[in-house]
DNA sequence: CGACAGCTGTCGGGAACCTGTCGATCGGCT
DNA sequence: AGCCGATCGACAGGTTCCCGACAGCTGTCG
């Protein structure tokens, strides 16, 4: 966790009245080595915030009883400045966007992709670590991805990726050199509940490969197929 | 923080009886790498000023008990020359005049835009640094913005921007080369509580682009759209 | 006090772009 | 050789973005 300027595990509190969603987030976070607890009501959230002392909170805005804003209010009033990432329904507060990203907080529209949520959480943590924060750049071979500028470089050249391509590549880079199955990619990069169990992943990888080929100096492929298992980003020789 | 002639973090004291507002300002300041503390009453403010030794103070004029002027008077009487920026309510026209003639260094009307407040604070800090005072000029490519003279130059030519255009461009320049989402731009450049939709940002960007195009020597765009994410100001080649 | 001018935000049409489905083809493995 | 997963061109529908037109507001000037 040194990338956040910490030695200890990140402590995450997830607040959502839908247990499967809360658990989904908590599970992914634990898998990344974080400490995560879940709350299904505002009251529980406030109690846990006091006991657990999270470093960051994921907070659904539509809660029964005290709603998300109420929880935030009470959190702040009790003196804790813990950063918050909100979850909102698409047709609810979604376009009443104003105010949610102020002060370093962020928000995400449901249904979201877990990798995207994790990425936002990492960004918020990085930022709130203070002035010693530094850019997050993922590198494999001559390929680099700057998560702040969104710049993806392949050697000298820059490539322009669509949002989906960007997310898939980020995921593969982040997991490199571990092989990821198509199911894992689908589950992490696409929104939960996405139906199309088709060959979308293959398609996006194919498009990525073409863009990588067009900008390649060496001609050596970076995205490798592991037949029967999935994909991995790895430098030729390694 | 060397831009203010300091090595250490700027120390900010925020005094407002409305906790969400005080926290909003403190959070944004911390996000910029400052040290910030909040006080909700005049008494608390005086106590904290003594302990925390702020470099600058944001002071709401309408406080229960000792009001803003009272706090300032007592601060001065205790010998501190710390610069103060006042916050006043919109309808308090009388306050405006009084605020400036009573020893404040600047003032801002509520509801304000967080970026504007931060800009004022930076200016006051720079000025109070005395002889070491230096201009603040933001530059990207052949575009430059002088925050003191408000002069914006694109190559040889000058451009005339409306207040909103100026603020959006300043924000993008300041964050360059990081990509900013429309929500972030909206939340930082517009007043807190603004309910508008995020395509006002598109509109202002569109107007900015036209003005930049009209004055462009190279024809290369400076404001780039990162589809699905937001906008960024960046020189063509980089 | 009325006319005017500049600024800001809303609306909506149209263009550009992105995404997933289908299906023909390819290539590795047994 | 034959099977089966993988690859990728083409297309249609959907989304995002851009910007012209217009209306409300505010401050200014005669």
pLDDT score, position A104: 81
Q: Give the distance, in angstroms, between residue B220 CA and nucleotide C12 C1'.
A: 29
pLDDT score, position A1: 42
- Report the pLDDT averaged over residues A54-70: 91
Contact B27 A148 (CB under 8 A): no
**Is the predicted pLDDT of residue A237 greater than 70, yes or no?**
no
**Residue A54, class by beta-carbon neighbours within 10 Å (0-12 exposed, 13-18 middle, 19+ buried)?**
buried
- Report the pLDDT averaged over residues A193-208: 89
Q: Which of B157, B134, B132, B136 is nearest to B145 (CA)?
A: B136
From chain B residues 200-229, the ones with a CB under 8 A of any chain A CB are 226-229
Q: Give the distance, in angstroms, between residue A141 CA and nucleotide C26 C1'.
A: 28
Among all residues of chain B, which has the CA nearest to that of A127? Answer: B31
Contact A149 B26 (CB under 8 A): no
Residue range B7-53, pLDDT digits in tens: 678 999 999 999 889 999 999 998 888 999 999 999 999 999 999 99
pLDDT score, position B25: 95
- Report the pLDDT averaged over residues B160-185: 97
Q: Give the distance, in angstroms, between residue B160 CA and nucleotide C4 C1'.
A: 21
The answer to whether some atom of strand D lies closer than 7 Å to the beta carbon of A224 is no
User: Greater confidence, A227 or A90?
Assistant: A227
The answer to whether some atom of strand D lies closer than 7 Å to the beta carbon of A196 is no
A94-131 as b/e: b if 16+ CB within 10 A: eeebbbbbbbbbbbbbbebbbbbbbbbbbbbbbbbeee
Q: DSSP letters of A127-185?
A: HHT-TT----EEEETTEEEETTTTEEEETTEEE---HHHHHHHHHHHHHTTS-EEHHHH
Q: Give the distance, in angstroms, between residue B115 CA and nucleotide C6 C1'.
A: 24
Contact list, A102 vs chain B (CB under 8 Å): 24, 27-28, 114, 187-188, 192
- Report the pLDDT averaged over residues B160-165: 98
In this structure, is the dihedral angle defined by the CA atoms of residues A202, A203, A204 and A206, taken in order, positive or negative?
A: positive
Residue range A7-21, pLDDT digits in tens: 689 999 999 999 999
Q: What is the spatial distance between Cα A77 and Cα A207, in angstroms, rounded to a whole number?
A: 49
Long-range CB contacts (< 8 A, 24+ apart) of A163-166?
A163/B227, A163/B228, A163/B229, A164/A189, A164/A204, A165/A204, A165/A207, A165/A208, A165/A211
The answer to whether some atom of strand D lies closer than 7 Å to the beta carbon of A198 is no
A156: tokens are 């000298």
Contact A127 B31 (CB under 8 A): yes
Contact list, A128 vs chain B (CB under 8 Å): 30-31
Q: Percent of chain B scored above 70 by pLDDT? A: 91
pLDDT score, position B95: 54
**Is the predicted pLDDT of residue B91 greater than 70, yes or no?**
no
Kindly report the average pLDDT of chain B as a whole number.
Answer: 90
Q: Percent of chain A scored above 90 by pLDDT? A: 70
pLDDT band, residue B66 (cuts 50/70/90)? confident
**Residue A46 near residue A75, CB atoms below 8 Å:** yes
Residues 6+ apart with CB under 8 A from A232: A172, A175, A176, A177, A178, A179, A180, A223, A224, A226
pLDDT score, position B131: 72
pLDDT band, residue B113 (cuts 50/70/90)? very high
pLDDT score, position B195: 82
In this structure, is the dihedral angle defined by the CA atoms of residues B114, B119, B124 and B125, taken in order, positive or negative?
A: positive
pLDDT score, position B90: 64
pLDDT band, residue B1 (cuts 50/70/90)? very low
Q: Which nucleotide is nearest to B203 (CA to C1')?
A: D19
A60-69, A144-153, A223-232, B128-137: segment of lowest average pLDDT? B128-137
């Amino acid at each position: 966790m040194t990338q956040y300027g910490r030695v200890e595990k990140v402590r995450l509190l997830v607040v959502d009245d839908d247990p499967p969603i809360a658990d989904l987030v908590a599970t992914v976070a634990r898998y990344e080595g974080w400490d995560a607890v879940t709350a299904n009501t505002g009251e529980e959230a406030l109690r846990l915030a006091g006991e657990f002392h999270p470093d960051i909170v994921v907070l659904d805005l539509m809660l029964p009883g005290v709603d998300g804003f109420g929880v935030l209010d009470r959190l702040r009033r009790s003196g804790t400045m813990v950063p918050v990432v909100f979850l909102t329904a698409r047709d609810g507060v979604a376009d009443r966007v104003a105010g949610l990203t102020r002060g370093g907080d962020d928000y995400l529209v449901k249904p979201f992709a877990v990798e995207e949520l994790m990425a936002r959480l990492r960004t918020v943590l990085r930022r709130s670590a203070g002035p010693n924060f530094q850019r997050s750049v993922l590198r494999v071979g001559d390929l680099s991805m700057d998560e702040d500028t969104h710049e993806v470089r392949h050697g000298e050249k820059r490539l322009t990726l669509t949002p989906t391509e960007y997310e898939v590549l980020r995921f593969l880079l982040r997991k490199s050199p571990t092989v990821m199955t198509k199911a894992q990619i689908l589950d992490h990069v696409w929104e939960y509940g996405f139906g199309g169990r088709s060959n979308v992943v293959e398609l996006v990888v194919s498009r990525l490969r073409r863009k990588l080929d067009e900008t390649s100096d060496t001609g050596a492929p970076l995205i490798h197929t592991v037949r029967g298992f999935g994909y991995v980003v790895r430098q030729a020789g390694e």
